[in-house]
Amino acid sequence: MDATRILHEGHAPTPFTAEEIRAHCVDGLRVTLAEHGEDGVTHRASTFRNGDLEGVTIESGPSDPDGTPTGPVEGARVTWLDLQGHASFPADRTRVSKETLTGPLGILPCRRYDVRGPSGTSTFWFATDHPGMPVRWEGAGSVVEVVSFTVVPEARAGE
């Protein structure tokens, strides 16, 4: 396994490197999520803006199912390494396997991470063709999944 996938001693390898995430998350990439919870389905969109070698600004907020913002959008600057770090889990509590996932994005080969925590196990599916956030995750009574990847014009959200 590539040493750039292990961010901390005692952690499992991450599914992607910071460089792979940077290459995939181009300016204008909008990721629309659906969260299935006790109160029904809600949507949220995150758009990548002003990416450079170090990081990117991610603008996020509530959206309709197509990813069009429906409420306030907030932006935050993060590094590509920070994004990689979101998938860095302790090796002794993490089981990594390969699985084919069928969902809103079609049939996707994935790396599945089952992570045991104090509140139970959370499961994350990272699509090998879409470096970045998991395309589906389950835990704590909810299911969140990516419903679309689109590239939007460079105008700021809400303009």
Which residue in 35, 36, 53 sits closest to 44, CA to CA? 35
- Say if residues 78 and 58 touch (Cβ distance below 8 Å): yes
- Which residues, in sequence order, are bridge partners of residue 113? 96, 124
120-158 pLDDT tens trace: 999 999 999 999 999 999 998 889 999 999 999 764 444
What is the biggest distance separating any 2 CA atoms in the chain, rounded to whole angstroms? 47
51-69 pLDDT tens trace: 999 999 999 999 999 999 9
Q: pLDDT at position 38, please?
A: 82
3-state class percentages of the chain: helix first, strand second, coil last, to nearest 5: 10, 50, 35
